A and B are shown apart, each in its own frame.
Chain A
Amino acid sequence: MDNLKVVGKKIPKIDAPLKATGAALYIQDVKIPGMLHGKILYSQYPHARIIKLDTSKAEKLPGVRAVVTAKDMPPNFRIGIMKDNPPLKSGKVLSIRDEIAAVAATTPEIAEEALSLIEVEYEELPGIFDPLEAMKEGAMLIHEEAKSNILKMPWRLICGDVEKAKQESAYIVEDTFSTQWVTHCCLGTSGCVAHFDMHNNLTMYSNTQIPSLAQNDFVEALNAFGLKNRRVRIIQAVIGGGFGSKLDTYAYEYIAILLALKTRKPVKIIFTREEEFFATSPRQCTITKISHGCDKDGRLTFRDVEMVLDNGAYTSWGATTPSVMMLPISSLYKVPNVRYIAKCVYTNNTYCQAMRGYGNPQATFAIESSLDQLAEKAGIDPLELRRINANEPGEITPQRFKITSCGMKECIEEVYKRLNWKEKRGKDNGRGVGMASLIHVGGGARVYKSDGCGTIIKMDDFGKVDVFTGASDIGQGSDTVIAQIVAEVIGIPIEDVNVINNDTDICPWDVGVHASRTTFVAGNAALGAARKIREQILEAAGKILDEDPADLDIKDGMVFSTKNKEKSTPLGKALRKIHYTLGGKMLMAEYFYDPANENFDKEFKGNLSVSYAYGAHGVEVEVDRETGKVKILNYVAAHDVGKAINPLLLEGQIYGGGLQGIGYALGEKMVYQNGRLMNGNFLDYKIPTAKDVPPIQPVIVETDEKDGPFGAKGIGEPGLVPTAPAIANAIYDAIGVRIKDLPITPEKILAALKAKDK
């Protein structure tokens, strides 16, 4: 690990100049000759029957090439993990974002005008917008064919004996916490271009974060359209942010495919910012009842959690977030007895998706807020309570996670030290400190049948390398990290590495950008391929230099003998010799890495990830008792990342995650009133900007994960997981009121202060 030349260095993102200068080509920039522009007509009501749908006027508008409705889609074609979502709706609309018709025209303006010519008559129906209402016996069914509004997803994790532990606990707390809808706010809005060749093979220009799974989805769609055995190619443009929003395929993509088939032209659909707000899928809101107990010494005895999630009208990955919530619920701190039951409930609201943390922030908000309540009841300093119960290396948690490297205690100590915890805590002067920890998957996550990623490396005649990876870069910097790993292993400058990561015709399979897995899984795949090609180089150079390959090394693009320094050759020269000779060869290598993690068994147990990421956030706040405004004075974000491949990018993840978490804690909220989004724009949806960044101290704790590339673990999501409870706990320390539903607004604080004074 010593003498690393590229790995561990603060190297700026390779793509930063392109993005900073506007040279990067996003999906908005993709143009194909003959391309048409598609626009979608959405429902006017969150719940209504369509009485009449007349597209004849729109069809007659000059420039319109096709108008499609549900009639044009294959019957019974549904998308989403529960196959409950027809890309174009007929009969009844179930949410305000229901797609009912679409237009392809020669310009976006004509397409927009055509939408206004589509005549729709609705019979408005009463809707259900509260999941607790929707769960009641006899509630109106959102999906008439279903027997209940509760999804058939029995999220239920039982470890040990919670009831017995309750009886044996010295202290018990119970409370209810709730979280709001928030959205990803990707600067690059959603979009695609669907393009068929003359053999009906489909090329999708896309900004998906799951190219291989999207390819699979679209192959299925083509089958449904009667186009059997066709090829689907996904080409990703530069992606302007994902955060989980692009982890599924969406109705608009299937609509673009339908319009392209119908018109025999490439069709582009790009979301406006308003569509990006109301027609993409946010983080799900939750209602969490949680109970915690500990013994007289503060050792946790049980954790009991019941949760209701508003699923919205259709089902995407949001409904599976309880599978990840189980991770902190069962394994954040040592807690021997655990019960977790979650229900996802259909409503006439927007349907939800993955978003950075995948349920973990919602669960951790409840857990870590509740733990502070328990600490108070037990008369123990909340940080001390966490020290007592902190996870440790070698532990096997109740859900059967095998903890390998674990820097949780170090992270807690960093918070203690850098926040000046002892000094600042319990002053009751409008200032306070609070903290919260996190556990997340850090070594992939086997949520799909494969958790793998493939990498191909080829060398050219000049010592330069092309790396073809399945991993997508959605802004997180994976292209830079992969280039660093390959450069380090081979022994060449990072400038000599070219990462190609955006074309399923060229790049190998990868399950997608999720679960903070890319550095770990794609990094290991790149590492494996780079080692193979290094061996090939040394083998061939050994012959050229007449040396034992074991005595050769490569540095800065020179191959040399470690025994005889005079024996050396530039890498490019060696490669040309290998190539331009009778029976010559080009150097290429491939590697497929699939971590040795486990799918959950039927009881939702198993070692989901080969390593786990830890962290602790501590925050000092000042609360204005008169206005309710919270100011963050100091923010310590300590993360066990195994090894920082690129500390600059890693700190960027911590800043970005932290700020996203601060927005989640203190202000961001999608305001839905009776199924309608009231603040679908950046004026009314309050996302923190660069000017709102408080003093954040990112602290990197390195624990050298044995299975990680150069010892690294994942860091993509953890940055926002413990933010909200850390802030809520600090506010409690500052002014003695606990806000249990996010976001923590000044109005809620003032109301709580008023209630407390009574």
Chain B
Amino acid sequence: MINDFNYLKPGSVKEAFEMYAEHDDCKVICGGQSLLIVMRQGMVAPEYLLDIKGLDELRYIKYDEKDGLRIGATTTHREIEKSPIIQEKYPVLSLMETKLASIQTRNWGTIGGNLAHADPAGDPAPVLIALNANIKVGGKNGERTMPLEDFFKDYFETALEKGELVLEVHVPVPPAKTSVAYQKFNLLDSDMGIVAVAASITLNGDDTCKDARIVLGNAAPIPKRVKNAEELLKGKKFDEKLFEEVGRISYEESEPVADIHASEEHRRHLLSVLTKRMIKKAWEQARAVA
């Protein structure tokens, strides 16, 4: 049963910063699709809830051809999924959202809330890290920006300091001939991933690999880059045997844990298969883009 709590509803980001600084034992709620579950289970029982979902200052999707994409923290998953500019410029983000839980959840849940929750099985983080995204956080004492992959520290732990909120996700303009592919493995269509892999491939003019980013979801306490595999790909040509090799690196470098849904070995195996497939898919897509 959810505990009794005091409900704080700021009218502006500034007021949110102040309220958050003033109240100890305060959790931020921004959609509640993850928080309410753990509150209902009694795992989290804060004295205060600071509800920032209504802050329209943070609810935006902006795109600029030089600066890239900026998504405000209170933007819902559904808004990202349905955004024409995201569908055009970052289709992998929109596709990822179509498989993130149910429409009801996507209507409630927000990108800021999702990232701040820092569930290693979350869908957006691996895709955004593959897209080289940054995250802007801030509080009463100012704002700071960091690469998203540095934001995650441990299971459900982030770099947010006391009094800080997630404010914005920034996705730079991808280099030429770049494409990102993402897939999670699950048994039900929109379930959490047993594991997931996002891969970004940038090609040179001669179709060799210029750059690669491979991010594993639910494979470690935080979204996990497989940098050895990325290095191996650079300068190489399309080669399915190479992709097998890269998959093996994912198998070895991942640190999944067993649970009732899958053994550790099965998870590693799936990570190797999905890594191989996502590199191939991203590579093929990258050939087709300008």
Give A contacts to B, CB under 8 Å: 108-109, 112, 272, 626-627, 629, 666-667, 671, 678-679, 683-684, 686-689, 691-692, 745-747, 750
Contact = CB atoms under 8 A, between A and B. Distances in A.
8 contacts: A112-B1, A272-B1, A626-B273, A629-B187, A679-B260, A686-B187, A689-B188, A750-B269
A683 B185 contact: no
A278 to B, nearest CB: 14
Contacts of A671: 260
Nearest to A39: B1
Given A626-B273, A678-B260, A683-B37, A750 B185 contact: no
Nearest to B272: A626
Nearest to B269: A750
Interface residues of B, number: 18
Contact of B1 (A109, A666, A691, A747): A109
B187 A666 contact: yes
B262 interface: yes
A629 B184 CA distance: 12
Interface stretch (B74-82, B84-92, B189-197, B219-227): B189-197
Interface of A, helix, strand, loop or mixed by DSSP? loop
A692 B1 contact: no
Nearest to A743: B187
B263 interface: yes
B270 interface: yes
B261 interface: yes
Contacts, number: 44
B199 to A, nearest CB: 16
A750 B266 contact: yes
B173 to A, nearest CB: 33
A202 B92 CA distance: 61
A256 to B, nearest CB: 19
Contact of A667 (B102, B187, B192, B273): B187
Contacts of A691: 102, 188-190
Contacts of B263: 747
B195 to A, nearest CB: 10
Contact of A688 (B188, B192, B261): B188
Contact of B188 (A627, A692, A745, A750): A692
Contacts of A667: 187-188
Given A108-B1, A109-B1, A747-B266, A689 B187 contact: no
Interface in B177-205: 185, 187-192
A627 B187 CA distance: 11
A496 B93 CA distance: 53
Given A626-B273, A750-B266, A689 B1 contact: no
Contacts of B188: 667, 686-689, 691-692
Interface of B: 1, 37, 102, 185, 187-192, 260-263, 266, 269-270, 273
Nearest to B247: A626
Contacts of B189: 689, 691-692
Nearest to A630: B187
A590 to B, nearest CB: 47
B44 to A, nearest CB: 15
A683 B41 CA distance: 12
A747 B187 contact: no
Contacts of B37: 683
B243 to A, nearest CB: 12
Contact of A627 (B102, B190, B260, B273): B273
Contacts of B102: 689, 691
A678 B187 CA distance: 18
A627 B278 CA distance: 14
A750 B263 CA distance: 12
Contacts of A745: 187
A688 B188 CA distance: 6
Contact of B262 (A272, A678, A688, A747): A747
A627 B192 contact: no
B43 to A, nearest CB: 12
Given A112-B1, A627-B273, A684 B261 contact: yes
Counting chain B CB atoms within 10 Å of each CB, the highest count among A627, A667, A683 belongs to A627
Contacts of B270: 627
Contacts of B1: 108-109, 112, 272
Nearest to B266: A747
Contacts of B261: 684, 686
Contacts of A689: 102, 188-190
B187 A746 contact: yes
| Complex A-B, nearest 9 residue pairs according to Cβ-Cβ distance, in ascending order | A691-B189, A671-B260, A626-B273, A667-B187, A747-B266, A692-B189, A678-B260, A112-B1, A692-B188
Contacts of A746: 187, 266
Contacts of A112: 1
A272 B42 CA distance: 14
A61 to B, nearest CB: 15
A233 B273 CA distance: 60
Contacts of A687: 188
A683 B192 contact: yes
Contacts of B185: 627, 629
A728 B263 CA distance: 22
Given A686-B188, A686-B261, A747-B262, 11 more contacts: A109-B1, A626-B273, A667-B188, A683-B37, A686-B187, A687-B188, A688-B188, A689-B189, A689-B190, A691-B188, A747-B266
A184 B143 CA distance: 50
A631 to B, nearest CB: 11
Contacts of B269: 750
A750 B185 CA distance: 15
Nearest to A679: B260
Contacts of A684: 260-261
Nearest to A693: B189
A362 B261 CA distance: 23
Nearest to B270: A627
A626 B185 CA distance: 12
Nearest to A669: B260
Contacts of A109: 1
B184 to A, nearest CB: 12
Contacts of B266: 746-747, 750
Nearest to A689: B188
